[in-house]
């Protein structure tokens, strides 16, 4: 009986990671939704308000990431490798940081009009965030859900390829047709920031794939 209680203690401790990852993903999804709305906004004050709300998401995300790292340091047993838990937490934190960076640039630079291509990439960022939420919901059953996790990672990878194409097309047109040098720099920096977010999403999917392979 004592041994059963002892083992049960570690199982409970192990499961603490999963709701933290889900909480992180929910926060990221909320920030991505705000970013999409901000990219469509033309009013300067409204853009700054969106940036402030996304900053609040970033602050919450930092607290969640710190909690995950604290749990890693305290845990005797972890659901998968400590390094992988740390990497996944860092990837999610970086994804949110990229969202924040893009929203901050929109609020500071105040481009003259919303870009359809930036909006399109923001839609893919939100799609990635929603997939992250799905992935974190499967973490407590990774062995049985390996195929589903692999499928979700494939979608994020494909999204990143699509975003790359949108980014390259936008940059080509921007340098060809934008005659205002200040506006050109503003738009270039904004789309680079949001494209970086997609790259981090792909990195996160690679981390998840690595975990699944190790659990094999």
Q: Which of 172, 167, 132, 180 is closest to 152 using CA atoms?
A: 132
Residue-wise pLDDT tens digits, 76-96: 677 778 888 899 999 999 999
Q: What is the sign, positive or negative, of the torsion defined by CA atoms of 179, 180, 182, 183?
A: negative
Q: How far apart are CA 117 and CA 185, in angstroms?
A: 16
Q: Any residues with CB less than 8 A from the CB of 77 and at least 6 apart, and which?
A: 10, 11, 13, 14
Taking alpha carbons only, the member of 110, 137, 113 closest to residue 29 is: 137
> Per-domain residue ranges for the chain?
2-215
Residue 15 has pLDDT above 80, yes or no: no
Distance, in Å, from the CA atom of 124 to the CA atom of 200, rounded to the nearest integer, reads: 13
Q: What is the pLDDT of residue 14?
A: 59
Q: What is the pTM of this model?
A: 0.90
- Mean pLDDT, residues 26-46 taken together: 98
Does the domain at 2-215 match CATH 1.10.760.10? Answer given as: no
């Amino acid at each position: 009986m004592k041994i059963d209680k002892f083992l049960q203690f570690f199982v409970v401790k192990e499961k603490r990671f999963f709701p933290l990852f889900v909480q992180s993903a929910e926060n990221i999804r909320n920030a991505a939704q705000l970013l999409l709305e901000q990219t469509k906004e033309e009013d300067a004050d409204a853009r700054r308000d969106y940036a402030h709300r996304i900053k609040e998401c970033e602050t919450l995300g930092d607290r969640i990431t710190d909690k995950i790292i604290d749990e890693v340091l305290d845990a005797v047993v972890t659901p998968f490798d400590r390094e992988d838990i740390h990497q996944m937490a860092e990837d999610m934190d970086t994804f949110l940081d990229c969202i924040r960076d893009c929203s901050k640039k929109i609020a500071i630079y105040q481009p003259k009009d919303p870009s359809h291509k930036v909006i399109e990439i923001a839609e893919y960022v939100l799609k990635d965030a929603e997939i992250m939420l799905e992935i974190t919901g499967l973490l407590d059953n990774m062995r049985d859900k390996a195929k589903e996790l692999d499928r979700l990672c494939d979608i994020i990878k494909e999204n990143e390829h699509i975003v790359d194409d949108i980014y390259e097309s936008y940059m080509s047109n921007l340098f060809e047709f934008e005659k205002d040098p200040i506006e050109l720099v503003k738009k270039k920096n904004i789309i680079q920031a949001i494209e970086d977010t997609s790259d981090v999403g792909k990195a996160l999917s690679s981390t998840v794939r690595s975990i699944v392979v190790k659990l094999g």
